[in-house]
Structure 1
């Protein structure tokens, strides 16, 4: 792995330099300063929040645990890494910079965050400083110039080969952990115990994951961002939905799977239908595909599933036009993914920062661009039975078009969501998630054979 990353990294950093050159020119600046981020503390307390590195910083190098460090880039010069390695016996001190990437930087070690001031460009007015307000260092106040940030955010959608390797590894880590979570569900474990099984298989702590895991048994699957994690299993388990990812050098995977208990064959039929539809949506992740159009297409397909399986009496077209489909599928089809789970630039029309509006009836869509090669997106259709949305539907003009006995019988399952991370290429898309599950299954089978 290290050999592969070492071979791909030079082109990656050359690409970032080209983007930075253009971004600085667009903003009229000479230097790019990027903070790794500050450590934050709870209000009126000395307890720190989990540190999160700046996405702009980790785009350049796989360093995710070095707060108060800086990256300095001047066109034509070698990038400089100002790396805080404090004298500290209270906490773990970041290891000295090393690895395949280190030779590409002039590295300056500092022992106090304030020492960085002497190593930064002297003409502050000529610096584009990308950082949070808490990273202010003397007179170096983050300005986050729009022209620079917009350019970098727009280009972040296009992943280098180096980044695609990172995302493949993150997907494999996530798939391995999903296998463990599925096994724990079939063993009758609680949400909390399933979470522990996931963490153990991922070999990552909760604060290392790209987002808080959504681990739902039964009706909890109807809560889109459910994170409570009950400590004890319910008296009867009907279904299981898990939305969870993994991280690798700061890159994220985002995976969702839904399972039915052995007795819930009716729910399994719904899962199978959504899974089949989801694979078709993934296959449409092609160059020149409008993502909003794909989202609307997904509504029509899911509405037809609702009709075929006896939840609604109206046509799929009527269900979409009337908004009925949105009561069952109330979120967007997906989003960009990379250094952030909901990666930036999803609404940008161009490098200047002009935006592409969401469809009026679909306010939760997170991506409105037309797909291009090297973009990586999630595809996550769902059908849910959410009490609040169903109550509104029941009071509305189309209540008689809903088969309420069928809908009510499915409330105990919560809902279905299937999510994959997919790369748009010049030809057929690359499904990172399905490939990772296939590789994980192969590894499990080989281990079983090897173990006799």
Structure 2
């Protein structure tokens, strides 16, 4: 615990340096950040799940605290306005506690509107106020200055040692849940039952997952963001894809695995081939490497799998050049990971903004920056049998080079995705694979 406290305090010092430098460069004298407000369904009194402002939880491990504020003032402790209502309808937030309390100037409020008075001395024409429009209070109107946001978003791509510790913990929380999900699949469970097994093993509920679990059996594994969970068990459980993470202090893991039942050797061989391709791509995560090159490498490796599996009778370079891999692998190789599952800043050309373009014809890639030491990215190649994309391939000039009988057999399994969370290290050092380390620790 002492080591984590030290990491957190170092993290806070790093954020203060970055914020103060950004304030000076953007011409602001204070930074005010709202945690966000609770939002309600239209014409109803039921709130949606609270989603905090990521800028707020970057500073404070308070991911479930609406109506709070953080103020950064150069040369002084950050001020935290902590909302703790006297509420008997719901459990109110606990009294402020943890390693962050001693590092800040703390003001406790009972009503959300009290934040305006608690911050009134800092609200000037040169104050930067980061929040959604609905968080506004009298005198506290978000302006979200672009120049400042660009500097903060660029810096957030590189994680501090404290953040890396949270991300490791998030992977360790998810790994046993993935094992529990696999065991439920092998026992013939339904998608809904597998999801419940995951929740129990992770200690999560649907309310605090970093994103909705993707739990797809058989053909459902071909739907990239499959959003349902069938209650009924299928007549035959052939294959299973789960894309599910966990969350620790607001930091997420994002892990995907694909499994197959015994007696399905052809698809099992295809999973093994994709596993080899995925591990090869993980090894490409090195400082200075353009992430777009890893994405294009993923298409070349997918082409090799398709050729060696006898699915497409084409050379690998020709397959990529003519777009034949895209129907089988239609998404990007991954994204930045951290406070958000798809963390911000992935398309920035520099710390002052601009856009680093995606490779032509690859519109779903979510990261186009060169890798820096301390970045955490996902590596998630896939190989799917998606009816609507296969229909387009059948109508193409390359259709005659596809073994459609084999495709039809494999389509019963939906598809494959294997995803790890990976830390880029300095000086060409091999990357740290948070996901594989977490599974290895289970023994």
Partner of 2:39: 40
Deviations 1:192-249 (A, max 9, x none): 0000000000001112111000001000000000020000111011100000000000
User: Is 2:5 the counterpart of 1:3?
Assistant: no
The question of whether the paired residues in 2 share the 8 Å contact of 1:210 and 1:252 is answered with yes
CA distance in 2, matches of 1:271, 1:244: 18
User: Is 2:205 the counterpart of 1:218?
Assistant: no
Partner of 2:52: 53
CA distance in 2, matches of 1:264, 1:148: 54
Could you tell me how far 1:264 is from its partner in structure 2?
Answer: 1.0
Q: CA RMSD in A?
A: 0.8
Could you tell me how far 1:315 is from its partner in structure 2?
Answer: 1.1
Instruction: Describe how 1:218-257 pairs up with structure 2 within 5 A.
Output: 218-257=218-257
Partner of 1:395: 395
CA distance in 1, matches of 2:64, 2:362: 38
CA distance in 1, matches of 2:358, 2:214: 26
User: Is 2:162 the counterpart of 1:162?
Assistant: yes
Partner of 1:75: 74
Partner of 1:16: 15
CA distance in 1, matches of 2:174, 2:350: 32
Could you tell me how far 1:122 is from its partner in structure 2?
Answer: 4.4
- 1:428 pairs, out of 423, 430, 436, with 430
Size of the aligned set, in residue pairs, is 440
CA distance in 2, matches of 1:349, 1:37: 29
User: Is 2:61 the counterpart of 1:62?
Assistant: yes
CA distance in 1, matches of 2:375, 2:111: 39
User: Is 2:295 the counterpart of 1:295?
Assistant: yes
| 3-state secondary structure, aligned to 1:7 | helix
Instruction: Describe how 1:1-400 pairs up with structure 2 within 5 A.
Output: 2-120=1-119, 121-400=121-400
- TM-score, reference length from structure 1: 0.96
Could you tell me how far 1:3 is from its partner in structure 2?
Answer: 2.2
The question of whether the paired residues in 2 share the 8 Å contact of 1:278 and 1:381 is answered with yes
- Pick which of 398-407 and 159-168 moved more: 398-407
Could you tell me how far 1:405 is from its partner in structure 2?
Answer: 0.7
- 1:439 pairs, out of 431, 438, 441, with 441
Could you tell me how far 1:266 is from its partner in structure 2?
Answer: 0.6
CA distance in 2, matches of 1:62, 1:254: 19
CA distance in 2, matches of 1:101, 1:324: 52
Unaligned ranges ≥5, structure 1: 443-452
| 3-state secondary structure, aligned to 2:383 | strand
Q: 1:410 to 1:24 in 2, by over 3 A?
A: same
Deviations 1:72-131 (A, max 9, x none): 011111000000001111111001111112100111000001111111134431210100
CA distance in 2, matches of 1:53, 1:123: 22
The question of whether the paired residues in 2 share the 8 Å contact of 1:36 and 1:57 is answered with yes
The question of whether the paired residues in 1 share the 8 Å contact of 2:180 and 2:197 is answered with yes
Unaligned ranges ≥5, structure 2: none
| 3-state secondary structure, aligned to 1:125 | coil
The question of whether the paired residues in 2 share the 8 Å contact of 1:209 and 1:245 is answered with yes
The question of whether the paired residues in 1 share the 8 Å contact of 2:123 and 2:140 is answered with no
The question of whether the paired residues in 2 share the 8 Å contact of 1:124 and 1:140 is answered with no
Partner of 1:446: none
Deviations 1:23-42 (A, max 9, x none): 21222110100000110000
The question of whether the paired residues in 1 share the 8 Å contact of 2:254 and 2:341 is answered with yes
Could you tell me how far 1:170 is from its partner in structure 2?
Answer: 0.1
Could you tell me how far 1:167 is from its partner in structure 2?
Answer: 0.3
The question of whether the paired residues in 1 share the 8 Å contact of 2:22 and 2:152 is answered with yes
Q: 1:122 to 1:153 in 2, by over 3 A?
A: closer
Could you tell me how far 1:4 is from its partner in structure 2?
Answer: 2.3
- TM-score, reference length from structure 2: 0.98
| 3-state secondary structure, aligned to 2:311 | coil
The question of whether the paired residues in 1 share the 8 Å contact of 2:32 and 2:130 is answered with yes
CA distance in 1, matches of 2:395, 2:25: 53
- Pick which of 18-27 and 8-17 moved more: 18-27
